[in-house]
Chains A and B, each alone.
Chain A
Amino acid sequence: MTITGEVGAWNARGNSAPAVVARGLTKVYGQGDAAVHALRGVDIAFATGAFTAIMGPSGSGKSTLMHCLAGLDTVTGGQVHIGDVELTGLNDKQLTLLRRERIGFIFQAFNLLPTLTAEQNIRLPLEISGRQADQVLFDRVVETVGLRDRLAHRPTELSGGQQQRVAVARALISKPQVIFADEPTGNLDSRSGAEVLSFLRTSVRELGQTIVMVTHDPVAAAYADRVVFLRDGLLVDELVQPTPQSVLDTLMKLEA
C-alpha cells in the first residue's frame, strides 16, 4: 500500500504516460446548506493498458468520479486529462467529439439501441464519427466476445449477458484511449458476469486496452490490475493485483 492518490504513484509497467489523469478534482451538487460534496479533491492517474477498478460504499462518489473523468459531467474544481487533452474548459461540442474519438462506454443496463441489430449497435460509434470500421479488428472483437452468430439479432432477441457482450464489443471497436465501465455486470447472473469480465481482461492483455470500471462487487474488482477505494468523496486506499478476499478485507476495513 503506497500513498494513495499521488499522481504517477502507480505507473503500470512504466511503459508510457497515463491514459487518464485527474488533479484536485472536486464536485459539489446544490448550493448553500443543501450543498452535497460528492468529490472533495481527488488526485488519480490511470495507466495506459491497465484495468483499474473503482470501489467504495454507496454514496462514496465512485459514479460521480467516473462521470467527471469521462466528460459526462462538469467538475466544480480541479483538472482532468484524457491523454494530452484537458477536459475541464471544453464546451459541450468539444466534449462530445472527445467522447466520440477517445472514450468507450459500457453501462449497467440499457446499453443498446433497440431499433438496431447487434452488428449495427457495435458499429454505431464509428458511424457517428464517420469512421470506417477496421474489418480485421471487427472480426477479432466479434470472435473474442463470441457473437458471430448473433450479429443480425436485435437487442430484445438477446439475453442480458449477450447484450452486455455487444456493449463490450461496441466499446472496443473504436479503439478508444480509455473505456469506462459502470457496473457492467450489475444486472447479470454470475456466469454471464464472469464471461463479460474475462472479455474485458482479455482486451487489456491482448489489445492493450485501458479500462476503468466502477463496481461494488469484490469478485468483479478482482479481475482488475489495480483497485482504488473511495469514501466520502476522497481516495482512501488502493490495491495492486487484488484478489476477491483482499478487496473484501479492504472494504470491511473502510466500512468500519
Chain B
Amino acid sequence: MLKTTLAGLRAHKLRLLLTSLAITLGVGFIAGTFVLTDTIEAGFSRKFAAAADKIDVAVLPGKKDEPIVPRDLLEKIRAVEGVADAQGVVRGSAPLIGKDGKAVGDYPTAAVSIPRGRLNRTEITSGTAPAKPAEAVLDANTAKTRGFAIGDTITVLDSENAKHEFTLVGLFDVGIDQELAYYGAVGFTVETATEMTGEKGFQEIDVAAAEGVSAETLRGSVAAAVGSAAEVKTGKSHAADLAKANGADTKILTLGLLLFGFVAMFVAALVIYNTFNILVAQRTREMALLRCIGATRKQVFGSVVLESAVVGLLSSVLGLLTGLGLGAGALALLGRTGLEVPTDGVALAPRTIAVGMVLGVVVTVVAALLPARAATRVAPIAALRSQVEEHTFRTGVLRMVFAGLFLAAGAGVTAFAVATGPGEASLFMSMAGGAVTFLGVLILGPVMVKPLSAVAGWVPRRLFGVPGKLAVDNSRRNPKRSATTTVALTVGVTLMTLISVLTSTMRTTYGAKLDEQFPVDYMVQVQGDEGSFPRALAEDLRTRPELASVVALRRTDAKAGAQGAEFEVGTFTPAAGFSPEATTGSFGDLKAGTVAVGDEAAKALGVKVGDALPLTTTEGGEVRLTVVALFPQANALIPEVTVPHGDFDRYFGALDDGAIFANVKDGVAEENARKAVEAAAQPYPTAMVISSTELRGEFDEALDMMLMIITGLLGLAVLISLLGIANTLSLSVHERTRESALLRALGLTRPQLRRMLSVEALVLGVIGALVGVVLGTVFGWAATNTMTTGVIFQLPVVQVVAFVALSGLAGVVAAVLPARRAARASIVDSLATG
C-alpha cells in the first residue's frame, strides 16, 4: 500500500504542489514569526551583553516609589575598595530648540549624561564627547533632521524652561535604546545633565572594578557600602534582566503575529479538507480497483491518511524555509523603515522547527481524516461503472438541527453580551458568540450556496450569455464543495470586515465625541503635555481679534476623598461657548465651595451629586466641597476633579496654565487664525499649537495604519483561500474535461470557455465575500457595542463593497490557470478520456 500511495503522489506532482502550498504558507507565516522575534531577541540580548561588558557592577534604584539612585551614593561608592571608577547615569528631558525657535518634536528631547573613560557606553560617531559644561552632543538622527552640524550653537531648555546655549561638539549613536531613538537625545557632561534635567538623583550608577577585582567581589563590597538605599547587581545579571524585560515585549509581538498565523492555518485546513475530498471523489475508480484486488477498508483509509501525512511533511519543510525567508524579509523591511534592529542573521530554532512540523503535519492529516473515511465507503463495484456520478446534495434534518442550534446559541450569546453592556467580559462573550455563529454558518454552508449563487450570479447570468449561465449553474453544482471553498474565503473577509467596521465606528464615535467635548478649534499644550506656561500666553490670546473665546486650564495633583488618594485636580477659566456636559447635576451650579467630578473618579471616590468631597490643598488646608455635577470622563478635556477657577487659586496658589483652548471667530480664515495662535505661542518654545482638524487627522492616520497592518496580515488567510479556489476549480476542470470538450464541439470558443470558468470563480468569490461581509458587519457591531458606551455605529460602505468586488476579482485571478488549461485541452483527447 505504501508503494502505491507514494507512486500516486509522484505521478501527480503538480496536484501535490497546489495542495501543499496552502499549508506551506500557513507554516511559513508561523515559522517566520518565530524567526523574526527570535532574531530580534537574540540581537538585543547580544547588545545588552556587549554593553554590560563595560560595567562590572550596576547600582539601581532600590525603592519602587522612588525610581532614582540618591546622588550622595556616588561618592560612597567611589570610596569603596576595588572601585576603579564610578559614574552616575543621568536621564531626563531637556527640550532642544529648533531653528524656528520652537521646541522640536511632539515630545521633549531626552537628555543623557555622557561619562568619560571606560564607563562611557555611548558611541560617539563623529566629533568628541562633551568635556566642558558648555559642550553638548546630539544623536545623529536628530542632528540630521533638524539641520545641526558639529560646531553649531544649539539652544536647550532646562527644567525651568530657561534657555541655555551649547556648542555642538559631536554626534552619537543611540544604539538599541528605543526611547532615545524615539524622542531624540542630547548628551551633556554628567554635571551639566544633572543641572539641565533637574533630576534629583541618578538613573543608575555604573561601577568599574580595579585590576584584579572580580565583579562578584566588587558587587559584594558595593552592596555593603550602599546598604538598602539601592539595588546592586553585576553587569552581567543586569544585562540578563534587561534582555528578559525586552523579551517580554517581543513576546507580545509573537503572540499577536501567531494569532494571524493560526487564522491562516485554519483556512489552510479548510482548503486541504476540500482538496482531499475532491481527490477522493475523483479517484473513486482507483479506490474501487484497489478494493477489487483485495485492499481492505483500513488499507484504503491508511493510504489516504498516508498521502496527507506526506503532503503535510513536505509542505511543512517548505514552510519552514519560507518562514526563514519571511523572517529575513520582515527584518530587512524593519531595517529600511529606520527601526534599529540588531541581528546576527536569521536562524531556525529547534522550537520553531518542532512547532512548524507538528502543526503542519497534524493540521493536514486531521483535515484529511473525513475525506479518508469517505474513501473507505467506495464499493468495489464502483470500479466497473464508467460514468462519474453527479453529486447530489440533499439538506439533511441533522444538518439543519445542528446549524440551527449553533446559530441560535451564537446569536443568543452575542445578544446577551450586547444587552449586558460594555465591558471586557461582554466583549469576549460577543466574540465567542461570533465564533459559534461562524460554526453554524459552516454547517449551513451547503444549504446557502444555492440561494447565494442566485444572488451573486444575477448580474453575470445576464451579462455573459451562455458561458455566464453555465458558470452560475456550475457554481452550485456541488454545494458542499462550493461551500467549503467559499467558507475559506469567508474567514478572511469576515475578519477584515470586522476590523474595518471597528475602525470606522471608532472614527465616527471619536469624531462625534470630539465635536461634543472638544468644541474648540485650537489647543495650546505643553510639549509632551507635562508642565505649564505663563498665564500671559492666554492673556495675549484673549486680545487677538481672530479668536472668539479662550479657555485656560490649570492642573495639579492633590489628595481627595476619605481615603486621601491622589487625583488630578484642576479648573478652567470660563468663556462663552465652552460648557462641559454633565451626566447628572449641572456645571451651572459650579460656584465657590463646589466641585464637578468625572464619572470614573466619582466611582473610585464613591461620591454622587450632593455629597461632600474632602480635598487636601496646599494653600487652603483641608476643604470640604459639595459635588454639583458628574461628567463623562472618557475624552473629557477638563481634569477629573474640577473646581471653580477662583477657588483653585485660593487652594493651590496662582499656578501657570497647563493648556489653553481657543475658538476662532466666525468668518476668520483658518490660516489667519492659526497665524494668530502661533504668534502668541512663539515666545514660549515648549507651547505646541494643535488644531482639532490636525488632531483628528492624527487619529485617522493611526487608525488607517492599524487597519492597513491588520488587513495586510489577514491578507495571508485570503491568499490561502484563493489557492483553495484555484485548486477546486482546477480539479473541477479536470472532472469536467469531457463536458468542456462537448461544449467546445458544440461551438463554444476558447475565450468563452475561459470566461465560463472565470465567472464561476467570480461567483464563488462573491458568495464567500457576501457571507463574510454580513458576519463581519454584525459582529463588528456587536464588538463596538460591547467595547465602550455611546458608540455611533458606522458601516464602512465603500470598504465593504470593495471587499466583495475584490473577492470576485481575486476569484477570477485564481481561475486564470485552470481556465487556460481547460481552454487549451484538445477536444478529441478530452472526448476520449473518462
Binding site for B on A (CB under 8 A): 67, 70, 72-73, 92-93, 96-97, 99-101, 105, 107, 109-111, 113-116, 124-125, 127-130, 156
Contacts and interface: CB of A to CB of B under 8 A. Distances in A.
A115 B470 contact: yes
Contact of B748 (A70, A96, A114, A156): A96
B contacts with A: majority SS: helix
14 contacts: A70-B745, A72-B828, A73-B826, A73-B827, A73-B828, A92-B749, A93-B749, A96-B749, A101-B747, A105-B745, A109-B386, A110-B738, A110-B834, A114-B477
A100 B750 contact: no
Contacts of A130: 465
B474 A115 contact: yes
A72 B825 CA distance: 12
A110 B747 contact: no
Contacts of A124: 466, 746
A107 B742 contact: yes
Interface in B744-768: 744-750, 752
Give 6 nearest A-B pairs by CB, closest first.
A100-B747, A115-B473, A96-B749, A73-B828, A110-B738, A72-B827
A109 B747 contact: no
Given A72-B827, A72-B828, A107-B831, A113 B742 contact: yes
A124 B756 CA distance: 14
A99 B746 contact: yes
Interface centre among B387, B392, B474, B831, by most chain A C-beta atoms within 10 angstroms, is B831
A160 to B, nearest CB: 10
Contacts of A92: 749-750
A109 B390 CA distance: 15
B739 interface: yes
Nearest to A116: B473
A99 B745 contact: yes
A115 B457 CA distance: 15
A111 B748 contact: no
B746 A72 contact: no
A127 B828 CA distance: 23
Interface in B788-834: 826-828, 831, 834
Contact of A128 (B474, B748, B750): B748
B80 interface: no
A67 B748 CA distance: 17
Contacts of B827: 72-73
Interface string B380-398: 0000001100101000000
Interface in B444-468: 465-466
A110 B834 CA distance: 10
Contact of A96 (B386, B392, B738, B750): B750
Interface in B534-577: none
Nearest to B748: A128
B73 interface: no
Contacts of B390: 114, 156
Given A110-B387, A124-B466, A129 B828 contact: no
A87 to B, nearest CB: 14
Contacts of B828: 67, 72-73
A249 B386 CA distance: 32
B746 A128 contact: yes
B341 interface: no
Contacts of B477: 114-115
B258 interface: no
B330 interface: no
Nearest to A124: B746
B742 A111 contact: yes
Contacts of B745: 70, 72, 99, 105, 107
A240 to B, nearest CB: 30
Contacts of A70: 745
B745 to A, nearest CB: 5
Contacts of B738: 110
A9 B828 CA distance: 30
B743 interface: yes
B749 A105 contact: no
Contacts of A99: 745-747
B470 A97 contact: no
A105 B746 contact: yes
Nearest to B737: A110
A41 B766 CA distance: 53
B175 to A, nearest CB: 66
A114 B664 CA distance: 73
A183 B827 CA distance: 17
A156 to B, nearest CB: 5
Nearest to B752: A128
Given A73-B827, A97-B747, A125-B747, 11 more contacts: A96-B747, A96-B748, A99-B747, A105-B742, A110-B742, A113-B470, A114-B390, A116-B473, A124-B466, A128-B752, A156-B390
Contacts of A73: 826-828
B386 to A, nearest CB: 7
A125 B745 CA distance: 10
A117 B750 CA distance: 24
Interface string B85-115: 0000000000000000000000000000000
A113 B386 CA distance: 17
Nearest to A73: B828
B746 A100 contact: yes
A105 to B, nearest CB: 5
A176 to B, nearest CB: 10
A78 to B, nearest CB: 17
A120 B455 CA distance: 21
B566 to A, nearest CB: 74
A97 B750 CA distance: 11
Nearest to A94: B749
Interface string B356-394: 000000000000000000000000000000110010100
Given A72-B827, A107-B831, A127 B749 contact: no
B731 to A, nearest CB: 17
Nearest to B750: A92
Contact of B746 (A93, A115, A125): A125
Interface centre among A109, A113, A156, by most chain B C-beta atoms within 10 angstroms, is A113
Nearest to A115: B473
Contacts of A125: 746-747
B466 A127 contact: yes
A113 B466 contact: no
A105 B749 CA distance: 16
A124 B742 CA distance: 11
